């Protein structure tokens, strides 16, 4: 991508982060840390990569995205709203009674959400099913899924990994948002998920490790995945939990907590300063 | 009654899938390394390109089925009832039930008639688990013809369906020339006015024999085959309660959470009458030949007849 395209993506990611914070603040609950770590990848997918049409969200030929780490939907909702699937007004009532936007993604009622998810480990299996369906129907759509690093402690992730590899689902690209933190502490302290690249490699995946906040690296990895035949690809994206909001960065406490009014103001000021700097 | 032949409903299910697949390209079948036992191998042989073994990984199988359905396919995912509804309960609830995806789940080797494998594989909780999931249709066909029709109805229904399959070969007692299946509509097999027996699945034929024997002994029992546990046929239950004043349910399932409680909920809210539940009385099964176990648990014709006689004499 050229410099102006890169700049546009960075600006969009900044807006995605602002709407993420907006949603979680208004909900008075939710998961800002992992949403912010995933924001750049989600922005890349919806604003640079995926064939999706907000006017035709159920198009059978569209690319699909399954947010297996469903609790990070504030970032997904922000991207979908900015893309035009629904109004940003919906984000202001995220998690409220009667609201469309649920605490975890609900495909039945939310345009653009390809799979209901949130119970960890399940989304990647559904992504496998979508990828298999695409192959059986000779469709050239691609399926993207995003796992959390802590989520990889779920056994079902590895059942799905075996399946994806066995059925040669090369139209499936899985991101692992490797921010290193989960509710009870660091991923290494909680359950010792070391050598995740070797794990996926031994399950038959093409493994690419990148900086999950570097759009050029994201693009290169996605393009490599598209060229990889007969096996699925996993992109281990090293990220910073809470990325973009200084006091949330790398703090385990911001996994599942909403900012108070003061914190909200600081966060929004920081993000708008970042946007201004990009626009300057 | 048609000339009977013994066939297990799991076998009928495999045959039904093949019939349906001839006309419908969107049908796919998934199994979790039990194709030889669930009889999806019948489909696998006929349609190898539309059969996907998921290995011994039932949670993933249900999730894959959800994804296939989300992309427009109609997957039938089969395993033992224990694993399809027990092991993978939460996947069924969250990946299939919540998004109301068009996935058909088949649980074979249900109930104690699994036999020798014993308690770990004798699922007497599947109907209870599946019927608590909003929007889930729960079917428990009683013989070959009913299973053939139920599988077709499951395909035609848009949304998640659980179908219970039996391991044991049983009489095909329904008359194929005079039989219609409709989801949610119970079938009156015998008229009667003293009491209504409502049975489901593999024990319907046993209940039929029991009811006929009781008629000769002066107890004029009505018999309803309740092949659909959810949505339960309220009308037929209310009518039976009003006309016969007492209901006895028969199921090869824990008496907690299954047919008996589904029926009792309808009567309690609409037309309170005594409801007695014949079934597995909140205990685990154990190893043994299927027929011997059914007898031991009082779920063969003789046991059902004895229990009904006891209830009626109180």
Chain A residues with at least one Cβ partner in B under 8 Å: 60, 64, 66, 106-108, 114-116, 118-119, 121-134, 136-137, 155-156, 159-160, 162-163, 166-167
Calculate how close chain B gets to A103, using CA atoms only, in Å: 14
Kindly indicate whether the ipTM for this predicted assembly is greater than 0.90, answering yes or no. Answer: yes
pLDDT computed for residue B4 by the predictor:
63
A67-114 per-position pLDDT tens digit = 999 999 999 999 999 999 999 999 999 999 999 999 999 999 999 999
Annotated active-site residue B58? The verdict is: yes
Distance of alpha carbon B204 from the chain centroid: 10
What's the confidence (pLDDT) of residue A176?
Answer: 98
Nearest Cα neighbor of A65 from B205, A55, A77 is A77
Minimal-distance CA residue of chain B relative to A127: B67
* pLDDT mean across residues, chain B: 97
Report how far Cα B289 is from the mean position of its chain's Cα atoms.
20
pTM surpassing 0.90? yes
Instruction: Kindly indicate the confidence band of residue A115, based on its pLDDT and cuts at 50, 70 and 90.
Output: very high
- The tens digit of pLDDT for each residue in B184-207 reads 999 999 999 999 999 999 999 999
Angle between the B58-70 and A155-166 helix axes, to the nearest 10 degrees?
60
Q: How far is A156 from chain B (nearest CA, A)?
A: 6
DSSP string, A124-187: HHHHHHHHHHHHHTT----EEEEEETGGGGSHHHHHHHHHHHHTT-TTEEEEEEE-SEETTEEH
pLDDT of B314 reads: 86
CA distance B107 to chain A (A): 20
How far, in Å, CA of B262 to CA of B264, rounded?
6
Would you call B63 and A122 a contact, using CB atoms and an 8 Å cutoff?
A: yes
Give the nearest partner residue to B68 out of A66, A129, A159, using CB atoms. A129
- For the record, the structure tokens of B90 come out as 């939460």
pLDDT at A194: 84
What are the backbone angles phi and psi of residue A236, rounded to the nearest 5°?
A: -80, 105
What's the distance, CA A205 to chain centroid? 19
Contacts of B28 in chain A (CB under 8 A): 136
Interchain CB contact of B159 with A (< 8 Å): no
> Catalytic residue among B58, B146, B252, B261, which?
B58
pLDDT for res B52: 98
A57, A67, A125, A127: best mutation site toward chain B, by most B Cβ within 10 Å?
A125
Tell me which chain B residue has its CA closest to the CA of residue A139: B71
Q: Give pLDDT tens digits for A246-268.
A: 999 999 999 999 999 999 999 99
pLDDT surpassing 50 at residue B50: yes
Of A128, A155, A166, the CB nearest to B67: A128
* DSSP-derived pairing of the beta strands B74-80 and B27-31: parallel
Radius of gyration of chain B, Cα coordinates, nearest whole angstrom = 18
For B229-281, write each residue's pLDDT tens digit: 999 999 999 999 999 999 999 999 999 999 999 999 999 999 999 999 999 99
- B72 Cβ under 8 Å from any chain A Cβ: yes
CA dist., res. A218 & res. A5, Å (int): 14
State residue A193's pLDDT score. 84
Q: Do B69 and A129 touch (CB under 8 A)?
A: yes
Strands of B217-295 (E only): list them: 221-225, 228-230, 247-254, 275-280
Searching chain A, which residue's CA lies closest to the CA of residue B98? A116
Residue identified by tokens 């699937």 is: A85
Nearest chain B CA: its distance from A260 CA (Å) = 31
A181-226: per-residue pLDDT in tens?
999 999 999 988 889 999 999 999 999 999 999 999 999 999 999 9
Tokens standing for residue A116: 């209901």
- 8 Å CB contact of B94 and A130: no
Using a CB–CB cutoff of 8 Å, tell me whether B57 touches chain A.
yes
For residue B49, what is the nearest residue in chain A, using CA coordinates? A136
Whether pLDDT at A170 is above 90 = yes
Residues A146-162, mean pLDDT to the nearest whole number: 97
In the prediction, which pLDDT does B275 show?
Answer: 98
Residue in B63, B98, B99 closest to A125 by CB: B63
User: Percent of chain B having pLDDT more than 90?
Assistant: 98
Percent of chain A past pLDDT 90, that is, above it, reads 98
Rounded to the nearest 5 degrees, what angle is found at the Cα of A150, between the Cα atoms of A148 and A151? 60
Cross-strand pairs, B6:
B171
Nearest by CB to residue B67, choosing from A121, A127, A137, is A127
Beta carbons of A167 and B52 less than 8 Å apart:
yes
Q: What is the pLDDT of residue B37?
A: 94
Of all residues in chain A, the one with the smallest CA distance to B65 is: A129
User: What one-character-per-residue DSSP string does B239-267 give?
Assistant: HHHHHHS-EEEEEEEETTTSHHHHHHHHH
CB contact under 8 A, B60 and A160: yes
Q: Check CB contact under 8 Å for A156 and B91.
A: yes
| B92 lies within 8 A of chain A by CB | no
Measured between beta carbons, which residues in chain A are less than 8 angstroms from residue B62? 125
Q: Which residues of A touch B50 (CB under 8 A)?
A: 136
Provide mean pLDDT across the span B52-59: 98
Nearest to B100 among A60, A64, A108 (CB): A108
pLDDT-based confidence at residue B2 (cuts at 50, 70, 90): very low
Candidate from A116, A137, A159 with C-beta closest to B59: A159
In this complex, is the C-beta atom of B68 within 8 Å of any C-beta atom belonging to chain A? yes
- Describe the crossing of helices B204-216 and B301-313 by its angle, rounded to 10 degrees: 50
Give dist(CA A122, CA A57) in Å, integer.
Answer: 22
Q: What is the pLDDT of residue B134?
A: 98
Residue contacts between A and B (CB atoms, under 8 Å): 110
Tell whether B67 lies on the interface with A, counting CB pairs under 8 A.
yes
Mean of the per-residue pLDDT values for chain A? 97
Q: Do B68 and A162 touch (CB under 8 A)?
A: no
Which among A129, A134, A136 has the least Cβ separation from residue B64? A129
Which of A129, A151, A159 to mutate against chain B (most B CBs within 10 Å)?
Answer: A129
């Amino acid at each position: 991508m050229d410099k102006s395209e890169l700049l546009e993506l960075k600006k969009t990611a900044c807006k995605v982060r602002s709407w993420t914070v907006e949603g979680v603040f208004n909900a008075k609950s939710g998961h800002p840390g992992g949403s912010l770590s995933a924001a750049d990848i989600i922005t890349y997918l919806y604003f640079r990569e995926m064939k999706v049409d907000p006017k035709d969200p159920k198009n059978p030929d569209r690319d699909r995205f399954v947010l297996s780490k469903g609790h990070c939907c504030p970032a997904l909702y922000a991207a979908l709203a900015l893309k035009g699937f629904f109004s940003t007004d919906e984000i202001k009532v995220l998690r409220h009674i009667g609201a469309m936007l649920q605490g975890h993604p609900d495909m039945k009622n939310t345009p653009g959400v390809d799979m209901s998810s949130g119970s960890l480990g399940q989304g990647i299996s559904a992504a496998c099913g979508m990828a298999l369906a695409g192959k059986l129907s000779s469709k050239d759509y691609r399926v993207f899924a995003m796992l959390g690093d802590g989520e990889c402690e779920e056994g079902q992730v590895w059942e799905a990994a075996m399946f994806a590899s066995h059925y040669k689902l090369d139209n499936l690209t899985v991101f692992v948002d490797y921010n290193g933190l989960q509710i009870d502490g660091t991923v290494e302290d909680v359950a010792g998920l070391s050598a995740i690249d070797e794990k996926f490699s031994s399950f038959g995946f093409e493994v690419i490790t990148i900086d999950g906040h570097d759009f050029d690296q994201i693009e290169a990895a996605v393009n490599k995945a598209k060229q990889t035949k007969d096996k699925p690809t996993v992109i281990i994206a090293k990220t910073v939990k809470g990325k973009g909001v200084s006091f949330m960065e790398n703090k385990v406490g911001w996994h599942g907590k909403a900012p108070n009014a003061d914190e909200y103001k600081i966060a929004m000021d920081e993000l708008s300063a970042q946007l201004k700097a990009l626009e300057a | 009654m048609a000339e009977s032949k013994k066939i297990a409903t799991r076998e009928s299910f495999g045959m039904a899938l093949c019939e349906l697949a001839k006309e419908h390209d969107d049908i796919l079948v998934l199994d979790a390394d039990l194709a030889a036992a669930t009889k999806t191998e019948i489909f696998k042989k006929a349609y190898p390109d539309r059969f996907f073994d998921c290995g011994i990984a039932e949670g993933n199988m249900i999730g894959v089925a959800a994804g296939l359905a989300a992309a427009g396919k109609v997957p039938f995912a089969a395993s033992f009832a224990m694993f399809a509804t027990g092991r993978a309960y939460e996947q069924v609830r969250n990946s299939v039930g919540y998004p109301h995806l068009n996935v058909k789940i088949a649980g074979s080797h249900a109930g104690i008639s699994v036999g020798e494998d014993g308690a770990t594989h004798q699922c007497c909780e599947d109907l209870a688990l599946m019927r608590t999931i909003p929007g889930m249709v729960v079917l428990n066909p009683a013989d070959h013809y009913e299973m053939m029709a139920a599988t077709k109805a499951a395909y035609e229904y848009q949304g998640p369906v659980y179908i219970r399959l039996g391991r044991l070969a049983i009489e095909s007692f329904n008359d194929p020339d005079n039989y219609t299946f409709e989801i949610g509509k119970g079938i009156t097999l015998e008229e009667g006015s003293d009491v209504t027996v409502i049975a489901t699945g593999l024990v319907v034929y046993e209940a039929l024999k029991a009811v006929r024997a009781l008629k000769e002994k002066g107890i004029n029992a009505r018999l309803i085959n309740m092949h659909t546990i959810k949505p339960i046929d309220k009308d037929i239950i209310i009518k039976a309660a009003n006309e016969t004043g007492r209901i006895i349910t028969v199921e090869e399932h824990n008496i907690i959470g299954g047919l008996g409680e589904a029926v009792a909920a309808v009567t309690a809210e609409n037309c309170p009458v005594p409801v007695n539940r014949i079934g597995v009385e909140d205990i685990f099964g154990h190893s043994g030949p299927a027929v011997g176990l059914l007898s031991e648990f009082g779920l063969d014709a003789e046991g059902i007849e004895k229990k009904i006689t006891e209830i009626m004499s109180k």
